[in-house]
Amino acid sequence: MPQMDQKRIEHCFEEISQFRPRSEVAARDLDRAKERLAELTSEQRTKGQQIWRIIMKSRITKLAAAVAVIIAALVTSHYLGGSIDGTTIAWARVIETIENARTITSRETRTLTCEAKELPFLGTSEVIKYASSEYGVREDMVKDGQPLSHTYWLLKANECVTIIPALKQCTRKPLTEVEKKVLHQMTPEGVANLIKSSQYVELGRKSIDGVEVEGLEIRGNELVVAPVELDSVVMRMWVDVETYLPVVIEADAITTDKTITTFTGGKPVKAELLAGEFEWNVQLDAEIFEPNIPEDYTILEE
Amino acid sequence: MIERQQKILQLLDTSGPQLHRLLGRLTRREDVVGDLLQELLLRLWNSNGFDKAQDPFAYAHRAAVNLAFEWRRKRKTTCQLSEENCPAADVMSAAGIMIRAEELEQVLDASSRLNDLARNVVVMRYVEQMSYEEIARRLGKKPQHMRSVCAKAMAELREILTSQNG
């Protein structure tokens, strides 16, 4: 092929500029584009009838972030061990297991209610959670089989990224000092460092799905680091008596913080969490914690 | 949202054929232009930036250029010939046509490696045949700056194409 000097390149561009689609093709494509625009408008009107579409985009993003914060606060309280004074061998083994873990995965059901009724647009959702002492935490929230949000709390980048597929929107913001503490507490390493005394009640033994477990209950919002005010927190951890690993963690929190209750007309919100299917020290690659933001998403920097 | 819809509709009415032609020129594929036009529409529909743009056509033009070059980067490098759109085909041998088509594809592929501003300026200057004053007005910059960007872009294209052809 001949060398491409400036003149030759310009000549190529000249030929490129002469390319002209056939008029009937252009007309057909433009008609289809207008039809598509009409479809988009119609879809928008239909979706607008759903309650959560009525809320402004920025508000739903903030609510999702605020809910994530509440849940993060609950999660923090989960990983606080029980009898941390070490006098009870079983609980000391539990804490030792957590200390040695580098990763945790779990599946959670989260329910938000106000006056015993599920919140209209979030209500009950399922969350798959990945926690790594090296990379941070990722949560994938699903509702009715549809992805609701993907939230990343990233240790190295020191930021929180939330992706909401239904809105084709992404928010990213640096972690506040409080959020950094929450994030650290959510990782296995952070959990291991959170050794402090707490008043707890032993719940004794029972069977969950054929597994014999022993439980304890901790109450008190002062245990939790959270950027929203929690009026009360109750956490129950059930541990397999043979493996010393948590099998089920339950948590309830009530908040009257205005950040949350602004969406419920000021009425208190209750967050209930049920976590299970724990896996410890599984291989979690760095790419799991990469927020792959699609190109056509709107990114809101806060 | 209604405002955005009306803005896009107006854009399609006034500048739809021009955007369609631009996508055709940058892809050289009549069969993909329709899909890309719809993709462009979707991007404008979902873009807050489009709402705020003082010159909606300039915004859409930039988006179309980016979209076309994204398509180029993703597709496999094949040489597509369409006799209806291949000028002066009757005076060239089949081999000559193939070589020529390959050259055009090379120039466009090389252009995808330029930065956004350089690529846009080159497209407006050489594909759309616009003056530097028009380009400057469209991009909100000075004509002299556009000349400089264009000159540097062409130098970069020469370098890319020279290194490719050995």
A285 lies within 8 A of chain B by CB: no
In contact, A77 and A185? CB cutoff 8 Å: no
Higher pLDDT pick, A244 / A192: A244
A17 and B127 in contact by Cβ < 8 A? yes
Q: Directed axis angle between helix B94-111 and helix B56-74, to 10°?
A: 120
* pLDDT one-digit tens code per residue, B112-122: 999 999 999 99
For residues A168 and A294, what is the distance between their CA atoms, to the nearest angstrom?
8
CA of A28 vs chain B CAs: smallest distance (Å): 8
Q: Directed axis angle between helix A6-17 and helix B2-27, to 10°?
A: 130
Mean pLDDT of A261-288: 83
Confidence of residue A190 (pLDDT cuts 50, 70, 90): low
In contact, A48 and A167? CB cutoff 8 Å: no
How far is the CA of A166 from the CAs of A61, A163, A287, B79, in angstroms? 11, 9, 23, 38
Question: Which of A246-250, A258-262, B73-77, B153-157 has the least mean pLDDT?
Answer: B73-77
Confidence of residue A302 (pLDDT cuts 50, 70, 90): low
* pLDDT one-digit tens code per residue, A139-152: 888 877 777 788 89
Per-residue pLDDT for A167 more than 80? no
How confident is the model at residue A120, as a pLDDT?
66
How confident is the model at residue A199, as a pLDDT?
64
The pairing of strands A232-240 and A146-154 is: unpaired
B127 and A16 in contact by Cβ < 8 A? yes
A258 lies within 8 A of chain B by CB: no
Mapping DSSP onto H, E and C, the string for B120-158 reads: HHHHHHHHCCCCHHHHHHHHCCCHHHHHHHHHHHHHHHH
How confident is the model at residue A72, as a pLDDT?
53
B33 and A36 in contact by Cβ < 8 A? no
Closest among B127, B27, B25, B120 to B77, alpha carbons compared = B27
Per-residue pLDDT for A207 more than 80? yes
Per-residue pLDDT for B158 more than 90? yes
Per-residue pLDDT for B11 more than 70? yes
ipTM surpasses cut 0.90: no
How confident is the model at residue A192, as a pLDDT?
54
Nearest CA in chain A to B37: A33
Burial of A197 (0-12, 13-18, 19+ CB in 10 A): exposed
- Going from N- to C-terminal start, the domains of chain A cover 56-301
Residue with tokens 């466009």: B108
* pLDDT one-digit tens code per residue, B54-69: 889 999 999 999 999 9
Residue A195 C-beta-side C-alpha neighbours within 13 Å? 14
Mean pLDDT of B105-111: 92
* pLDDT one-digit tens code per residue, A39-55: 887 776 666 544 344 44
Per-residue pLDDT for B42 more than 60? yes
Nearest CA in chain B to A48: B1
A299 lies within 8 A of chain B by CB: no
Buried b (16+ CB within 10 A) or exposed e, A42-76: eeeeeeeeeebbebeeeebbbbbbbbbbbbbbbbb
- Of 2.50.20.10, 3.40.1160.10, 3.40.50.300, 3.30.565.10, the CATH number of A56-301 is 2.50.20.10
CA of B85 vs chain A CAs: smallest distance (Å): 6
For residues A70 and A75, what is the distance between their CA atoms, to the nearest angstrom?
9
* pLDDT one-digit tens code per residue, A217-242: 877 665 555 556 778 888 888 888 88
Contacts of A298 in chain B (CB under 8 A): 46-48
Nearest CA in chain B to A168: B46
A17 and B33 in contact by Cβ < 8 A? no
Contacts of B102 in chain A (CB under 8 A): 1
B126 and A3 in contact by Cβ < 8 A? no
Residue A136 C-beta-side C-alpha neighbours within 13 Å? 26
Residue with tokens 């799991």: A288
* pLDDT one-digit tens code per residue, A130-140: 888 888 889 88
Residues 1-20 of chain A with CB under 8 A from chain B are 1, 3-6, 8-10, 12-20
CA of A126 vs chain B CAs: smallest distance (Å): 28
Cα-Cα-Cα-Cα dihedral of B139, B145, B151, B153, to 10°? Answer: -50
For residues A212 and A207, what is the distance between their CA atoms, to the nearest angstrom?
5
How confident is the model at residue A68, as a pLDDT?
53
Closest among A79, A72, A71, A85 to A101, alpha carbons compared = A79
Size of interface A-B (CB pairs under 8 A): 118
